[in-house]
Amino acid sequence: MRAWPILVLALAFSIVIAACAGHDWATPADLLRAIAGAAADLRSRLLVEWRIPRVLAAALVGALLGLGGTVFQGVFRNPLAEPYLLGSAGGAALGATVALLVPLAAPQSFILPVLAFAGAWGATMLVIGISRVSGAVDAAGMLLAGVAVAAILGALRSFLMLALSDETVSLQIVLSWVLGGVQTPSWPVLGLLAVISAACLALTMRLAGRLDLLGLGETMAIAFGLNVNRFVALAVLAGSVVVAAAVAFGGLVAFVGLASPHIARWLVGPLHRPLLPASALVGAIVVTLADAIARAALPPAEIPLGLVTAVAGGPFFILLLARRLRT
């Protein structure tokens, strides 16, 4: 397995590059000095308190997106499946929009992840429910139900943004969040994100063997002892937990959940036990670099991260689609 050292080194390299990149470029030596606490100047403090946590948060959000995409592609046995096509990301976005725009008693840093999860879970259950009622619990039925639910949730979110934002609650905040972007976390919040990411990895790894069985096709999966309907419901739930965590910390970042499993499959093959961690690493690398571009490309402005990944990922998606249609 030559792929693992390459992936780990590439991630480390991406993190260093991203930590150097910004309006004000730093050198690796500056980073070392800042981390060691040798220099007490403002620039070092900014690096340690702003840029480095932001870079690490981007890596973790990317890892979550890679995991979520892998679970959804495994469940739907469709390499074009993506959280954004299945309503779960749209649900998370609606929940987060409510948290950002509706004045609530609880602090926003707490209410936003909770509502994002509730939205992702609710939207996914809605999708499963619709496909159950219409008798199409297969991949195509769920994907179409997901597209419809995503469209409805998107419309609701736009309505909320138009109706609730005024001069006191800036539309800018919501918009930048919807367009995707990792907020700079405090170190304790970053720690929380790390714990959540590790838990998501552990949770999805428990599904790995059964995702492999499902990949043999439903008939063979049942013949090999899998309770397909129950497992699909369980895996979709786990996938929406992962997506909700990613959306809560990174907004709507498109195409990473689609592309990461693909790239990881080229590197480690399609079995899910190696694929899940590999896909998390690829997602981390992709979002770390995309976030660096978002911060450094047009100083002093910042491009929304979701736009960077969409511009890079859109052609990737079209390429995959074209290749699939040809075969």
Partner 1 sequence: MTAIAADKLVVRRNGALLLDGLSLSLGPTGSVAVIGPNGAGKSTLLKVLAGIDKPTSGTVRIGDRDLASFSNAARAATLGYLPQYFDPHWDLTVAELVRLGAERSHRATAGAIEQATEHFELTTLGQRRWSTLSGGERARVLLATVLVVDPPVLLADEPAASLDIRHRLDVIRTLTRRGGDRLSVVVVHDLDLAFTFFERVIVVDRGRIVADGPAKNLIEDRRIDAAFAVDFDRLKTPDGWLLRAAPHGS
Q: Which residues bind partner 1 (CB under 8 A)?
A: 77-78, 209, 212-213, 215-217, 219-220, 222-227, 265, 269-271
Nearer to partner 1, 168 or 219 (CB): 219
The SS3 call for residue 269 is: coil
Identity at 212, one-letter amino acid code = D
Compute how many other C-beta atoms are within 10 angstroms of the C-beta atom of residue 12: 11
Nearer to partner 1, 35 or 140 (CB): 140
Nearer to partner 1, 50 or 266 (CB): 266
Nearer to partner 1, 118 or 271 (CB): 271
- Calculate the CA 13 to chain-centre distance: 21
* Minimum distance from residue 264 beta carbon to partner 1 (Å): 12
Are 302 and 290 within 8 A, CB to CB?
no
Nearer to partner 1, 195 or 223 (CB): 223
* Minimum distance from residue 184 beta carbon to partner 1 (Å): 38
- The reply to whether omega before 5 is within 30° of 0 (cis) is no
* Minimum distance from residue 269 beta carbon to partner 1 (Å): 7
- The alpha helices in 106-138, defined as continuous H runs, are 108-133
**Angle in degrees, CA 79, 80, 82, rounded to 5:** 105
Are 320 and 79 within 8 A, CB to CB?
yes
The gap between the terminal CA atoms of the chain, to the nearest Å, is 29
Nearer to partner 1, 194 or 222 (CB): 222
* Minimum distance from residue 222 beta carbon to partner 1 (Å): 5
* Minimum distance from residue 75 beta carbon to partner 1 (Å): 11
HSE, side-chain direction, 13 A CA sphere, residue 243: 38
Identity at 304, one-letter amino acid code = P
* Minimum distance from residue 82 beta carbon to partner 1 (Å): 16
